[in-house]
């Protein structure tokens, strides 16, 4: 016995599979909801980071410069938590879709690196990657262990080592942002997975895109009625079903 919602979800997945098969160039946009089933908390849902921590205290340049201990605690805790985290089946499905030529690229707000770990190649890490560490002063690449041990920069001796993640108020990495923007004129389908679309400028992308756009999320979001298709459910579950549907009809 399937509830009305399930029947609706199944039908929508069949519809999406058909649209994907007809599309020539597909970009996926992911957020933290893509990683929660790999045990990485997201930010704004009930169990998200920002439910207990004020992002201004830890994820801004002020925090980096004026409250380095808390900044360092927050990011080293997140880095250590990633040590035993792996991509889930949904990440592998997206990597398989790229290999099969079904999708062309993934723009992600996630800093975990799980898309690449699952084998996806064309990945635009719009908010950086937490597993890479730089000196905030001389920008040199630094060893992550040195950061975790609260060491100083090996080049200029600065204490301000930081993961290469985009802090609130910092601009996005130029190259991946312009690639993502130029893709908006090349793709014919944008699939947005697991993001509240709360953060500028990434949250502008779906509105800037004139083609068919799909929103996959496990929470209804009222102000996203500009999507052509919305599938409410868990990212991993939906991607597995989508893969089954596409393999059936190939």
How far is the C-alpha of 183 from the C-alpha of 27, rounded, in Å?
Answer: 8
Q: Which does 155 bind (CB under 5 to 8 A by kind): Zn ion, ligand APR, none?
A: Zn ion
How far is the C-alpha of 1 from the C-alpha of 30, rounded, in Å?
Answer: 32
Per rule CB under 5 A, count of chain residues that contact Zn ion? 7
DSSP state of 38: G
Q: Indicate which residue of 88, 91, 115, 127 is catalytic.
A: 127
Please indicate whether residue 72 is annotated as part of the active site: no
- In whole angstroms, how close is the CB of 199 to ligand APR at the nearest point? 4
Can you tell me which of 155, 159, 186, 244 binds Zn ion, judged by CB under 5 A?
155
Tokens for 16, please give them: 């999406």
Is residue 138 part of the contact set for Zn ion (CB under 5 A)?
yes
- Binding residues among 102-141 for ligand APR as defined by CB under 6 A: 109, 127
Of 44 and 117, which CB lies nearer to ligand APR in the complex structure? 44
DSSP per position, 146-212: HHHTT---TTT--S-EEEEEPPBTSPPPHHHHHHHHHHTTT-SEEEEES----STTGGGHHHH--SE
Piece of the chain touching Zn ion by CB under 5 A; list 95-103, 117-125, 154-162, 202-210 = 154-162
Is residue 217 part of the contact set for ligand APR (CB under 6 A)?
yes
- In whole angstroms, how close is the CB of 129 to Zn ion at the nearest point? 19
DSSP per position, 111-141: -S-HHHHTT--SEEETTEEEEEEEETTT--E
Is residue 156 part of the contact set for Zn ion (CB under 5 A)?
yes
How far is the C-alpha of 157 from the C-alpha of 135, rounded, in Å?
Answer: 9
Q: Where are the alpha helices (DSSP H) in 49-133?
A: 55-58, 61-66, 68-82, 89-99, 114-117
Can you tell me which of 45, 76, 140, 146 binds ligand APR, judged by CB under 6 A?
45
Can you tell me which of 9, 29, 36, 82 binds ligand APR, judged by CB under 6 A?
36
Interface mask (CB under 5 A) for Zn ion, residues 27-66, using x and -?
Answer: ----------------------------------------
Contact 123, 95 (CB under 8 A): no
How far is the C-alpha of 123 from the C-alpha of 139, rounded, in Å?
Answer: 23
Q: Which residues bind Zn ion (CB under 5 A)?
A: 135, 137-138, 153, 155-156, 158
Residues forming the active site: 127
């Amino acid at each position: 016995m399937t509830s009305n919602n399930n029947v609706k979800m199944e039908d929508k997945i069949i519809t999406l599979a058909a649209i994907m098969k007809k599309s020539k160039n597909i970009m996926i946009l992911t957020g933290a909801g893509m990683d929660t089933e790999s045990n990485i908390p997201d930010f704004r849902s009930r169990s998200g980071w920002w439910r207990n921590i004020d992002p201004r205290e830890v994820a801004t340049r002020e925090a980096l410069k004026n409250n380095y201990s808390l900044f360092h605690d927050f990011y080293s805790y997140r880095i250590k938590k990633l040590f035993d985290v792996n991509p889930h089946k949904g990440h592998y499905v997206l990597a398989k879709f790229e290999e099969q030529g079904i999708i062309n690229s993934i723009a992600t707000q996630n800093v975990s690196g799980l898309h690449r770990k699952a084998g996806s190649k064309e990945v635009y890490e719009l908010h950086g990657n937490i597993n890479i560490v730089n000196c905030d002063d001389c920008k040199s690449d630094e060893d992550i262990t040195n950061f975790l041990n609260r060491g100083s920069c090996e080049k200029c001796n600065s204490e301000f080592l930081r993961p290469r993640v985009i802090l609130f108020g910092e601009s996005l990495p130029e190259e991946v942002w312009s690639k993502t923007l130029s893709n908006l004129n090349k793709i014919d389908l944008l699939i947005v997975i697991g993001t509240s679309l709360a953060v500028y400028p990434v949250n502008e992308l779906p509105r800037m895109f004139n083609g068919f756009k799909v929103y996959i999320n496990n929470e209804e979001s009222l102000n996203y009625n500009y999507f052509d298709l919305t599938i409410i459910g868990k990212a991993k579950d939906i991607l597995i079903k989508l893969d089954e549907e596409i393999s059936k009809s190939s």
